[in-house]
Chain A
Amino acid sequence: MKLPSLFRRTPFRLTLLFLALFAAAASALLGYIYAATAAEARRRAEGDVRREVAVLQSVYEERGVDALNQALVERTLRGGPYLYLLMQPDGTPVTGNLSESPLDDFEPPETWETFRLSQADERGRVVRRSARGVQMQLSRGDLLFVGEDIGDTEAHLERVTQALWGAGALVVILGLGGGLLISRNVERGMAGLNEVVAAVQEGDLKVRARPTGARDEFDELAAGLNGMLDRLEASMTAIRHAGDAVAHDLRSPLTRMRAKLEVALIEVENGRGDPTAALETALSEADGLLKTFNTVLAIARLQAAGQIANPEVFDAGELAADMAELYEPASEDKGLDFKAEIATGLMMKGDRAFLAQALANLVDNAIKYTPGGGAVMLRSRRRSSGEIEFSVTDTGPGVPEEHRERVVQRFVRLENSRSEPGSGLGLSLVAAVAEAHGGRIELAEGPGEVDGYGPGLRVALVFPGA
């Protein structure tokens, strides 16, 4: 891992940011504690000094400068926290444990000062300690300085400060280390995902992210990414299949049409043949091609979208009734017994036109493949599961079980149906419509072999209710 790239990692940058924030907060806190403690120490020293000054002043007022001198000598000898210096009015030192006044400028009647004091400690080393004191002019002109050592408080503060800086340094080191760990962890999690994204960018839709099994965000992201890729791959496959299918299925009728037109042109040039008939044939073939093309497109769009664009709620039963009414005469014209068992009030959500198309395809297939004298039945009902079911049952030749899965695929037409007109797209569209509505298509045997008819086919469309 190169260092510059490390700084571009989000987790590491976040770590640095938090460390900076922490350092700022710690410094502010430290500053505050320092200031507050120092002020407190000074105030306490001032209080002590004032009390001592009051005592000394009363000695001076009542008994004169010699008594004060005496008192100072006693106090100095006794030891204690105070610093004293008695001076003559011109500043010449008289008594005290200070050799000279720590004040540079004295302004009567009194001046406070914080100053540094050099002292020898027990082992003879010179240490500088802080002190605070006041110098004042006494009533008969003598000068008195009284101070107190505040070095203990300061030393304490210094230790606290040092501890805090130490803790700060530790936090920074731990923070940086943690940041490194986190960013390496995130990087490891992302590396797999990034590889997948890079591969997809290269055009490989087959790659999938491997879940780490940690059930963390990376696993969720990997699962999401895989789901997205599945959907994308399915769409791409559907589109590619649609393209293949269009190319495959449109080529032969186009070739046929072209040949017919060419032959017709030669015939007409030679004075034979009927130009009108040739044009009419070409026109109807072109219509057929367009129809195939539109159906392929509709299937591809339904499969790619995987859902209905602007669904509406409608009564599926009424739709079934309309289809029964529309197809019944055509069925009877072919000599089929047409029955409809329609339950209404079956509210479902979807695309009414697509559903009508799907039902129409099923009924049309049933009529087309059932020989005269047979029967076709259209049913709509609600299953006990709450699902809505449409079914079309016929007494035609049916579809052998091993082919049932295949007939739903595009352009698949069984051998015995090739003589009938049709594109082989009817059931594929039905399946695509069912799937886009969250439903399914079920193929089963019809009523079985009866009087030379059958076994028949029963196609059911099952949808979730609205």
Chain B
Amino acid sequence: MRVLIVEDDNEAAAAMVRGLSEAGLDCTRAADGADGLLAAQKGGYDVYVVDRMMPRMDGLSMVETLRREGDRTPVLFLSALGEIEDRVTGLKAGGDDYLVKPYAFAELIARVEALARRHETGSVQTVLKVGELEMDLIARRVHRAGKEIDLQPREFQLLEFLMRHAGQSVTRTMLLEKVWEYHFDPQTNVIDVHISRLRSKIDKGFDRPMLQTVRGAGYRLEA
């Protein structure tokens, strides 16, 4: 998976390249928006990780230019601007996700992987399958190894998100943002309790737990 990192701060960029490389991602770094634009125009990347504030050409203009040129590669904006309106501006300019600095590395990796993977499966699915687990999105029913599992609406949404990102780590913040659609700090790990309820429904009575906890990051649904 090839990632283009566009970040003007040398130290931050170096740490990012090291961290993402440790996670097995192939990283290239550009030092500002103009360099980033040139690198992106050469093609071959699965995700762009773009800092908002940079000299010469800022992240917003760079992504707007790429989108105008028809480049649909997923973009993750990084920003020290955490206000809601900044997030909205970033997403409007063509960003697919938005991460506020400072962030946990696990969060960055999880989001980059989620974006890259999303890019691969573009078709509309009506049935999701992960190992023994099968989700019918139209009938809104879930089976594991043929046995029906009864889920609350929110549990269904939660499982759907996990299934769409099967095999990837997803963080608690990602779940709160994508499943509940809220951007705030829930103080205690309320998400954990929802996950453990879901886990008790899909893993209870089976030898192999599918919904796993990833230390320091979040959760992962394994086939």
Residues 358-377 of A, flagged 1 when their CB comes within 8 A of B and 0 if not, give: 00110010011000000000
Q: Is the Cβ of B184 less than 8 Å from the Cβ of A353?
A: yes
B190 within 8 A of A: yes
* Alpha-carbon distance between A235 and B82 when the two chains are bound, in angstroms: 21
Q: Which of A329, A354, A357 contacts B190 (CB 8 A)?
A: A329
Q: Which of A325, A351, A356, A367 contacts B188 (CB 8 A)?
A: A367
A330 in contact with B188 given A290-B102, A322-B180, A351-B84 (CB within 8 Å): yes
Q: Is the Cβ of B84 less than 8 Å from the Cβ of A326?
A: no
The A contact surface, by secondary structure, is helix
A309 in contact with B180 given A329-B193, A368-B188 (CB within 8 Å): no
Q: Is the Cβ of B187 less than 8 Å from the Cβ of A353?
A: no
Nearest Cβ distance between residue A165 and chain B, in whole angstroms? 69
* Alpha-carbon distance between A285 and B197 when the two chains are bound, in angstroms: 29
Q: Which residues of chain B from 174 to 195 have a CB within 8 Å of any chain A CB?
A: 180, 182-188, 190, 193-194
B1 within 8 A of A: no
Q: Is the Cβ of B187 less than 8 Å from the Cβ of A294?
A: no
* Alpha-carbon distance between A327 and B192 when the two chains are bound, in angstroms: 11
Q: Which of B82, B104, B154, B187 contacts A361 (CB 8 A)?
A: B187
Chain A residues with Cβ below 8 Å from B69 are: none
Q: Is the Cβ of B104 less than 8 Å from the Cβ of A287?
A: yes
Minimum CB distance partner of B176 in chain A = A326
A252 within 8 A of B: no
**Total chain B interface residues with beta-carbon distance under 8 A:** 21
A454 within 8 A of B: no
A333 within 8 A of B: yes
Chain B residues with Cβ below 8 Å from A367 are: 188
Nearest Cβ distance between residue B107 and chain A, in whole angstroms? 11
A159 within 8 A of B: no
Q: Is the Cβ of B185 less than 8 Å from the Cβ of A357?
A: yes
The B contact surface, by secondary structure, is loop
A179 within 8 A of B: no
- Which of A280, A325, A367 lies at the interface centre, i.e. has the most chain B CB atoms within 10 A of its CB? A325
Nearest Cβ distance between residue A381 and chain B, in whole angstroms? 22
Q: Which residues of chain A from 275 to 298 have a CB within 8 Å of any chain B CB?
A: 280, 287, 290-291, 294
B120 within 8 A of A: no
Q: Is the Cβ of B193 less than 8 Å from the Cβ of A333?
A: yes
Chain B residues with Cβ below 8 Å from A310 are: 84-85, 88
Chain A residues with Cβ below 8 Å from B184 are: 353-354, 356-357, 360
Nearest Cβ distance between residue B220 and chain A, in whole angstroms? 19
Q: Is the Cβ of A356 less than 8 Å from the Cβ of B182?
A: yes
Q: Which of A309, A352, A361 contacts B83 (CB 8 A)?
A: A309
Minimum CB distance partner of A308 in chain B = B84
Chain B residues with Cβ below 8 Å from A325 are: 154
Q: Is the Cβ of A360 less than 8 Å from the Cβ of B180?
A: no
* Alpha-carbon distance between A364 and B193 when the two chains are bound, in angstroms: 14
Q: Is the Cβ of B185 less than 8 Å from the Cβ of A309?
A: no
Q: Is the Cβ of A291 less than 8 Å from the Cβ of B185?
A: yes
- Which of B82, B85, B88, B184 lies at the interface centre, i.e. has the most chain A CB atoms within 10 A of its CB? B184
Nearest Cβ distance between residue A194 and chain B, in whole angstroms? 38
* Alpha-carbon distance between A134 and B102 when the two chains are bound, in angstroms: 108
Chain A residues with Cβ below 8 Å from B185 are: 291, 294, 357, 360
Nearest Cβ distance between residue B196 and chain A, in whole angstroms? 8
A396 within 8 A of B: no
Nearest Cβ distance between residue A350 and chain B, in whole angstroms? 11
Residues 61-89 of B, flagged 1 when their CB comes within 8 A of A and 0 if not, give: 00000000000000000000011110010
A317 within 8 A of B: no
Residues 85-118 of B, flagged 1 when their CB comes within 8 A of A and 0 if not, give: 1001000000000000010100000000000000
Residues 185-218 of B, flagged 1 when their CB comes within 8 A of A and 0 if not, give: 1111010011001000000000000000000100
Chain B residues with Cβ below 8 Å from A351 are: 84
Chain B residues with Cβ below 8 Å from A96 are: none
Q: Is the Cβ of B194 less than 8 Å from the Cβ of A329?
A: yes
* Alpha-carbon distance between A422 and B188 when the two chains are bound, in angstroms: 10
Q: Which of A287, A326, A354 contacts B186 (CB 8 A)?
A: A326
Minimum CB distance partner of B187 in chain A = A364
Q: Is the Cβ of B183 less than 8 Å from the Cβ of A353?
A: yes
A426 within 8 A of B: yes
Residues 142-168 of B, flagged 1 when their CB comes within 8 A of A and 0 if not, give: 000000000000100000000000000
Nearest Cβ distance between residue A392 and chain B, in whole angstroms? 13
Q: Is the Cβ of A330 less than 8 Å from the Cβ of B104?
A: no
Minimum CB distance partner of A357 in chain B = B184
28 contacts between A and B (CB under 8 A): A280-B216, A294-B82, A294-B185, A310-B85, A310-B88, A322-B180, A322-B182, A325-B154, A326-B180, A326-B186, A326-B194, A329-B194, A330-B190, A330-B193, A351-B84, A353-B84, A353-B182, A353-B184, A354-B184, A356-B184, A357-B184, A357-B185, A360-B184, A360-B185, A360-B186, A360-B187, A364-B187, A368-B188
Closest 6 CB pairs of A and B: A357-B184, A329-B193, A364-B187, A330-B193, A310-B85, A330-B190
Q: A330-B188, A352-B182, A364-B188 are in contact. List 9 more A-B contacts (CB 8 A).
A: A294-B82, A294-B185, A326-B182, A326-B186, A329-B190, A329-B194, A333-B193, A353-B182, A364-B186
